[in-house]
């Protein structure tokens, strides 16, 4: 198939899926907004995969939630590109990309291009949890319109299916396909450097529950917590780091908490493998890559029982679920696993097996391609 991948950025998830589809013989063009004057118009990403930087708005970084004014221009650029040579299917990632894809697909020459949508994060859920800047007031209404207009919606976890149904999206047009993990990069290593070392890998915003992990540490004697995330530069200049340092001081664990700042992608697997446990305790998480990456590295996880964690982490098998916003429960789960090295080792092995069997990009790409074919068949029937 000739696939148009539309995304506001080419992060690891879009890049991983596109590369896997390219390896399976498809031709993928990733359309993303040009956000730097230095970017070339076309760049080869991987065999069978090209990235096109589309001029829509100023060529500079703009926060994702502020891109709506430029979405129509993005759609017009896609219209021009598809007018003479439309793709077989378009796959939009995030809601504003969905608007641009629908606009272009409906104007793409003699036949309408089928559109598949992955939201990754729904405005109605973000607002329910009051998660930061959730975007313009029109977001929820526009996401509902997207869900009704596209030919298929890919939900990344089971919990999202119920949310889509509440939006009125027909159940038979929703498929659950999780995100994948790079099993070449994230793979098991030897035993951890320190079985009492806990690792948190996260953005340091409030909803990620890093403060919960710090408070839990107060009830886990002799353990140390390494926190990766935040800025690369002066950590003390970052308000989120300062706030979390204050939490650590108040909890009496400041000497046992280390802030590492933002890591490069290739630095993440060694950090995960250095841990006795990876701890991830957000109170809202649409999918959550960290537990999956930890499992792929053979490290058990203590994860809050929310969103995608309910699918990826098998309670009692690859890690433990705990209630969100509950440091006491998190501490009890952490202590139980740190005090039982044999159980942790068994969970690590089970996690690596689960990541390999269910979350490889090869398997994910195969399942996504099946959704594409189904959407294309529906479009042909409706023509």
Kindly write down the DSSP assignment for every residue of 279-302, as one continuous string: EE--S--SS-HHHHHHHHTT--EE
In angstroms, the CA 245 to CA 1 distance is 51
DSSP 219: T
In angstroms, the CA 38 to CA 41 distance is 9
pLDDT computed for residue 65 by the predictor? 81
Burial class (CB in 10 A: 0-12, 13-18, 19+), 308: buried
pLDDT computed for residue 131 by the predictor? 63
Residues of the chain with pLDDT under 70: 108-111, 130-133, 383
pLDDT computed for residue 130 by the predictor? 67
Say which residues have a Cβ less than 8 Å from residue 240's Cβ, sequence separation at least 6.
204, 205, 230
DSSP 268: H
CATH 3.40.50.2000 corresponds to the domain 2-180+361-382: yes
Contact 374, 155 (CB under 8 A): no
DSSP 259: E
Same fold, 2-180+361-382 and 197-358: yes
Domains in the chain: boundaries: 2-180+361-382, 197-358
What is the torsional sign of CA 216, 218, 221, 224? positive
pLDDT computed for residue 109 by the predictor? 57
Neighbour count for residue 116 (Cβ, 10 Å): 27
CA distances from 214 to 138, 314, 319 (A): 37, 24, 19
Could you give the angle at the alpha carbon of 279 between the alpha carbons of 123 and 242, nearest 5°? 75
Place of tokens 């098991």: 188
In angstroms, the CA 290 to CA 295 distance is 9
Q: Helix, strand, coil shares of the chain as percentages rounded to 5?
A: 45, 20, 35
- What six digits make up the tokens of 263? 């890591």
pLDDT computed for residue 150 by the predictor? 96
In angstroms, the CA 70 to CA 56 distance is 6
Helical H runs in the chain?
A: 12-23, 71-82, 95-105, 123-128, 139-149, 158-166, 210-217, 239-251, 268-273, 289-296, 309-312, 327-338, 341-358, 361-382
In angstroms, the CA 192 to CA 341 distance is 11
Residues 271, 285, 352, 323, Cα dihedral to 10°: 100
Place of tokens 């990620």: 208
Place of tokens 């009692």: 316
Place of tokens 């290739």: 266
Burial class (CB in 10 A: 0-12, 13-18, 19+), 361: buried
Q: Radius of gyration over alpha carbons of the chain, in Å?
A: 21
Each residue's pLDDT tens digit, 152-166: 999 999 999 999 999
pLDDT computed for residue 11 by the predictor? 84
- What six digits make up the tokens of 21? 């589809």
Residues 142, 366, 9, 312, Cα dihedral to 10°: 80
Q: What class, spelled out in words, does domain 197-358 have in CATH?
A: alpha beta
User: For the whole prediction, is pTM greater than 0.95?
Assistant: no
- What six digits make up the tokens of 282? 């957000």
């Amino acid at each position: 198939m000739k696939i148009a991948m539309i995304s506001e950025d080419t992060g690891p998830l879009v890049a991983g899926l596109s590369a896997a589809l390219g390896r399976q013989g498809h031709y993928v063009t990733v359309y993303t907004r040009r956000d730097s004057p230095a970017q070339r118009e076309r760049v080869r990403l991987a065999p069978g995969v090209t990235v096109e930087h589309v001029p829509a708005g100023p060529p500079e970084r703009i926060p994702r939630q502020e891109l709506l004014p430029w979405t129509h221009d993005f759609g017009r650029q896609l219209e021009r590109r598809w007018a003479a040579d439309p793709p077989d299917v378009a796959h939009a990632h995030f809601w504003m990309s969905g608007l641009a894809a629908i606009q272009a697909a409906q104007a793409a020459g003699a036949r309408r291009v089928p559109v598949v949508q992955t939201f990754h994060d729904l405005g109605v859920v973000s607002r329910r949890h009051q998660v930061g800047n959730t975007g313009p007031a029109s977001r929820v209404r526009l996401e509902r319109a997207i869900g009704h207009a596209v030919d298929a919606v890919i939900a990344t976890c089971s919990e999202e299916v119920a949310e889509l149904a509440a939006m009125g999206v027909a159940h038979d047009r929703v498929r659950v396909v999780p995100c994948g993990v790079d099993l070449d990069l994230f793979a098991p290593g030897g035993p951890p450097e320190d079985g009492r070392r806990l690792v948190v890998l996260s953005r340091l915003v409030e909803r990620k529950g890093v403060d919960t992990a710090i408070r839990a540490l107060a009830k886990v004697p002799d353990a140390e917590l390494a926190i990766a995330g935040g800025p690369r530069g002066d950590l003390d200049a970052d308000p989120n780091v300062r706030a979390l340092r204050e939490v650590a001081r108040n909890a009496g664990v400041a000497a046992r908490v280390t802030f590492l700042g933002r890591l490069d992608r290739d630095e993440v697997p060694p950090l995960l493998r250095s841990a006795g446990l990876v701890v991830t305790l957000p109170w809202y998480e649409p999918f959550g890559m960290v537990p999956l990456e930890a499992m792929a590295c053979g490290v058990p996880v203590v994860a809050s029982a929310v969103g995608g964690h309910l699918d990826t982490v098998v309670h009692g098998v690859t890690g433990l679920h705990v209630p969100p916003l509950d440091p006491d429960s998190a501490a009890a789960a952490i202590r139980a696993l740190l005090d039982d090295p044999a159980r942790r080792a068994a969970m690590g092995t089970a996690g690596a097996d689960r990541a390999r069997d269910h979350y490889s990009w090869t398997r994910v790409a195969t399942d996504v391609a099946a959704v594409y074919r189904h959407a294309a068949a529906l479009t042909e029937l409706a023509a």
